[in-house]
Structure 1
Amino acid sequence: MESFDLVVAGCGVAGLSAAVSAAEGGARVVVLERAPREERGGQSRYTEAYLRMKSETEVSDDFETHLAENGGAPHADPDLAQEVTRAPSERAAHARALSMLEPDFIGTFAAEAGPTIAWLKGMGLRFDFLPTQFLTKSQPRLLPVGGGAALVEALAARAESLGVAFRYEATALRLVQDEAGRVTGLVVREGGRQQRIAGQVVLACGGFEGNAEMLTRYLGPRSVYLRTVCKGGLFNRGEGIRMALDIGAAASGDFGSFHAEPVDPRSSIAEASVFIFPYGILVNRDGERFTDEAPGTVDAYYERVTRRIHAQQDGIAWVVLDARHMRIPNYRLGLRTDQPPIVGETILALANAIGLPPARLAATVERLNAACCPGEWRPLELDGLSTEALDPPKSNWATPLVEPPFHAYPIVASNVFTFGGLKVDAQARVLDSDGAPIPGLYAAGEILGTYWGNYTGATSVLKGMVFGRIAGVDAARRRPNA
């Protein structure tokens, strides 16, 4: 049996951050990765890695507030909010392992974001406010130059230079505990054989986006209409969540929901997103509108709109645009799909090309056109140009669709990551169902149950790096003979 100070399950930014920080603290570390070496990094490899920060040292002004608003059930008992402000040991027993975010977790997240960026810069990574796919946005987005792939490769190179061992095409199966309940290792399947690897454990192996059984169990039968946002998500099959729950870990986050992003189902590329829908109308298979396409800036509302798309027949909708959208400066930034638009010189021709009922789509467009009001169309800012007496309304950028050629793109909801996962404290230690840390067990990244109903944008990658780093530091400090 091999023995290490720390066994890390997962090779995305969370697992690699844990491995590097632990190794920097003198720990002997092994990283388990289900993928082959050339595909290492999971979803982290494919993301642009937006970070909700207004500078390299400060998170956005709404960072903690937005996390708190999306960190618990919408109709929770008001007394619980007061209970979680108290130290865990002073709380009522029923409030010691709630499936919601703790103030200490949020505060630590915000406070450690800047130091984590500085730590990564020490590995040669660069960060900048680069163009995003959002033509309108409410919050700044700091990005690593080179995106998630650059993060993965820089962290992996640092880990390798520190002597961290890597086991590729290795799957973590279950946790090992001693008689006192301390986690002492992992059972791993590698090369068709099972073996036990001893050490403290960091679970950083994502959610359950790639597990059809868990998706159906938690998200319901409509999960068949979902697709992972990138191929890296197919490696996330929920074993880390399951094995922790099996030994009594506390659950957290909204198990019945996921981070939704609008993508073109015709494309095979990662994040084939279609964020240009606020400038047209969204219609379902019946050729009918079903939602306000532009309630606010696209970065703040795309997830809620995408959920409405997912609720339609067969989980699909089409955005219909006229030629005006092509005059929006840099409009292609809002179209990451590599597939061309469906084009028609008339709305009837477009409907036939899509396969929608032509008369119904024409009537839908006519109703929109009649409800539009005079005003200045300002596509790069909220212009308040809204419809009158139209249900559902359109709150911004409401202009008649009259200028050919008409374009359409199909849109489905992609599952970027699942919301339900494990509960940890501010040291990234996994808590049990009574709110006490499980000795020897940490978790970081998307496996943490953090969000309810709506994602606090540009926090997932940052969360993985921050709490991965914290987990590694704490595990190195607690290793035997440290």
Structure 2
Amino acid sequence: MNDKFDADVVVVGCGVAGLSAAVTALEAGLKTINLERSDENHFGGNSRWTEAYMRMKNDSEISADFEEHFANNAGWNIDPNVLDALTDSYADWPSFVKSHSLPDPEVISAFANSVPPTISWLKGLGLKFEHQPIYLLTQNTTRIAAKGGGLAIIEALRAKALALGGEIRYRTTATDLVRDEKGAACGVVITNPDGVQSRLLAKRVILASGGFQGNPEMMTKYVGLRAKHIRPVAIGGYYNRGEGIQMALNAGAAPAGEFGSYHAEPVDPRSRQAEAVVFIYPYGMLVNRLAKRFVNEAPGTVDAHYDNITRTIADQPDGISYVIFDSRVEDIPRWKTSIRSDQPPVSAPTIEALAAKLGLPEAALAHTIAGFNAACPQRSDAFEPFVVDHRGTKGLDIDKSHWSRPIDKAPFYAYPIISTNCFTFGGLKVNENAQVLDHDGRVMAGLYAAGETMGLYHQVYTGSTSVLRGLVFGRRAAQHIASSSNR
């Protein structure tokens, strides 16, 4: 290709992944352009809205279970022949293993090892990391967060990128890859703010444009009919339309991650706030529109199980559920911190009155609660809300494992809850350098992916690693480009 390049690196996206890639590339002296679908006031996609919790003991050590959790949630019914191959050196893996959708041990190891130096690099930009208040009343791992959350991170990175001479093009969408005569990515087709298409040429392309939670067509294609019940957890998710993933798949990239799933959070549908989560349900009871229980509300600490529990809500009639609890909730210190909705709970002096306010069948809800109350353990020991207490029900079709107490002390309360989409699991297969791989496990020349655009998660989200994924692999992509450019 004889066309003049517009940049050394074009980065599709302007969240934590895209901006960490841009700053790293700029620090290496590479001309870099970021593309951002939104206007300047809303740049950053999901990154703008997240509190950016990180699965770390402190700002220099990852949590003890970091790599283990990924290994335990690598996919469903994995062929033992695939697992056997993973014990060999990467060079000896068959092509079908290199392109397999599971997270490669090499990728996870590189991820884990890169977290501390990435955080150190961010601290050099003035960001501060420490233990921050969290809405989860019980946890099974350790977390820290950036002071100011994701917004502070993207603002610091953008300021640094601009100071280094980086360019950001707002209201500009990449819709396809440009490839040279050998098939290497050498730019993208873009739609400008005025709707006119053109080509933006670059020596390398980094796709960091998020997942597809804002695209109902792709959501229905991959997640199924329940997609109609699911909405993005925050406004930033609506900008994530999946073009970055789709253009690479169309070019022959291998898919990775679980395309039929997503990271779910339980949210009050009445609230206009971002991430209006309701996490009080382990101490109450969840029912659907038919006033029937449908899930074990407390199989363990809430952080380890809310992903799966919340996805079951999307499968309920109309995709909605209700957490029912009573005045015993006042026994739980700080219980209100588990609710981020700006809407008050629905309350009533009787169960029947509560059902009427919620539009639930009154007799059915009374029957469900009566059966639940009868199945609760009769224990005289003190209720301990912050430890797994094995206070489970017995004899129900679906037993509740912990924190089971009768719901019989008026007034009674309820919150509606829907399943919202933080991000989709399916994305592109990459190696440890964030290079996109094809269906035979070969590197696709010139093409990289980071953040939600790369596929990594299966079964259950490894909590508080998504922002880290974007930061680490955005940076690793740019570092690899810089090292390759200097050869």
Q: TM-score, normalised by structure 2?
A: 0.97
Q: Which position in structure 1 is the counterpart of 2:195?
A: 192
User: In the TM superposition, what are the counterparts of 1:36-185 in structure 2 within 5 Å?
Assistant: 36-72=39-75, 74-185=76-187
Question: Is the deviation greater in 53-62 or in 204-213?
Answer: 53-62
The answer to whether 1:318 aligns with 2:322 is: yes
Alignment gaps of 5+ in structure 1: none
| Distance apart, 1:2 and its partner CA | 5.8
Q: Which position in structure 2 is the counterpart of 1:208?
A: 212
Q: Which position in structure 2 is the counterpart of 1:405?
A: 411
Deviations 1:85-107 (A, max 9, x none): 32343123432311111111010
Alpha-carbon distance between aligned partners in 2 of 1:433 and 1:86, rounded to the nearest angstrom:
20
| Residue identity opposite 2:111 in structure 1 | F
| Distance apart, 1:63 and its partner CA | 0.7
| Root mean square deviation of aligned Cα | 1.2
| Residue identity opposite 1:284 in structure 2 | N
Deviations 1:319-353 (A, max 9, x none): 00001113421111110111111111011110011
| Residue identity opposite 2:191 in structure 1 | R
Answer yes or no: is the 8 Å Cα contact 1:5–1:476 preserved in 2: no
| Distance apart, 1:32 and its partner CA | 0.3
What SS class does the counterpart of residue 95 from structure 1 fall into? helix
Q: Which position in structure 1 is the counterpart of 2:373?
A: 369
User: In the TM superposition, what are the counterparts of 1:455-466 in structure 2 within 5 Å?
Assistant: 455-466=461-472
| Distance apart, 1:27 and its partner CA | 0.5
Deviations 1:231-261 (A, max 9, x none): 1000000100111011111110111111111
Answer yes or no: is the 8 Å Cα contact 2:95–2:441 preserved in 1: no
The answer to whether 1:261 aligns with 2:265 is: yes
What SS class does the counterpart of residue 478 from structure 1 fall into? helix
What SS class does the counterpart of residue 54 from structure 1 fall into? strand
The answer to whether 1:221 aligns with 2:222 is: no
Q: Which position in structure 1 is the counterpart of 2:237?
A: 233
Alpha-carbon distance between aligned partners in 1 of 2:119 and 2:113, rounded to the nearest angstrom:
11
Answer yes or no: is the 8 Å Cα contact 1:285–1:356 preserved in 2: yes
Q: Which position in structure 2 is the counterpart of 1:27?
A: 30
Deviations 1:402-445 (A, max 9, x none): 11111100011001111111010001111111111111111100
Deviations 1:383-402 (A, max 9, x none): 11111222211111101111
**What is the percent sequence identity of the aligned residues?**
50
Answer yes or no: is the 8 Å Cα contact 1:5–1:29 preserved in 2: yes
Q: Which position in structure 1 is the counterpart of 2:17?
A: 14
| Residue identity opposite 1:173 in structure 2 | T
| Residue identity opposite 2:374 in structure 1 | A
| Distance apart, 1:279 and its partner CA | 0.7
| Distance apart, 1:450 and its partner CA | 0.6
| Residue identity opposite 2:112 in structure 1 | A
The answer to whether 1:274 aligns with 2:278 is: yes
Alignment gaps of 5+ in structure 2: none
Answer yes or no: is the 8 Å Cα contact 2:54–2:144 preserved in 1: yes
| Residue identity opposite 1:316 in structure 2 | I
Alpha-carbon distance between aligned partners in 2 of 1:84 and 1:214, rounded to the nearest angstrom:
31
Deviations 1:136-163 (A, max 9, x none): 1111111000011001101111111111
Deviations 1:57-93 (A, max 9, x none): 1111111011122223x10111101212323431234
Answer yes or no: is the 8 Å Cα contact 1:23–1:476 preserved in 2: no
Answer yes or no: is the 8 Å Cα contact 2:96–2:439 preserved in 1: no
| Residue identity opposite 1:130 in structure 2 | Q
Answer yes or no: is the 8 Å Cα contact 2:96–2:441 preserved in 1: no
Q: Which position in structure 2 is the counterpart of 1:396?
A: 402
Alpha-carbon distance between aligned partners in 2 of 1:311 and 1:194, rounded to the nearest angstrom:
40
What SS class does the counterpart of residue 20 from structure 1 fall into? helix
Alpha-carbon distance between aligned partners in 2 of 1:94 and 1:394, rounded to the nearest angstrom:
41
Deviations 1:266-316 (A, max 9, x none): 112110101110010001111111111111001111111112222211111
Structure 2 vs 1, CA of residues 93 and 160 (structure 1 numbering), >3 Å: closer, same or farther?
A: closer
User: In the TM superposition, what are the counterparts of 1:234-383 in structure 2 within 5 Å?
Assistant: 234-375=238-379, 376-383=382-389
Q: Which position in structure 1 is the counterpart of 2:442?
A: 436
Alpha-carbon distance between aligned partners in 2 of 1:391 and 1:274, rounded to the nearest angstrom:
25
Alpha-carbon distance between aligned partners in 2 of 1:285 and 1:321, rounded to the nearest angstrom:
16
Alpha-carbon distance between aligned partners in 1 of 2:53 and 2:266, rounded to the nearest angstrom:
17
Alpha-carbon distance between aligned partners in 1 of 2:113 and 2:186, rounded to the nearest angstrom:
31
Alpha-carbon distance between aligned partners in 2 of 1:283 and 1:311, rounded to the nearest angstrom:
12
Deviations 1:166-190 (A, max 9, x none): 1000000111111112111111111
Answer yes or no: is the 8 Å Cα contact 1:88–1:435 preserved in 2: no
| Residue identity opposite 1:312 in structure 2 | Q
What SS class does the counterpart of residue 268 from structure 1 fall into? coil
What SS class does the counterpart of residue 22 from structure 1 fall into? helix
1:451 aligns with one of 454, 457, 460: 457
| Distance apart, 1:129 and its partner CA | 0.8
| Residue identity opposite 2:230 in structure 1 | L
What SS class does the counterpart of residue 264 from structure 2 fall into? strand
| Residue identity opposite 1:444 in structure 2 | A
Q: TM-score, normalised by structure 1?
A: 0.98
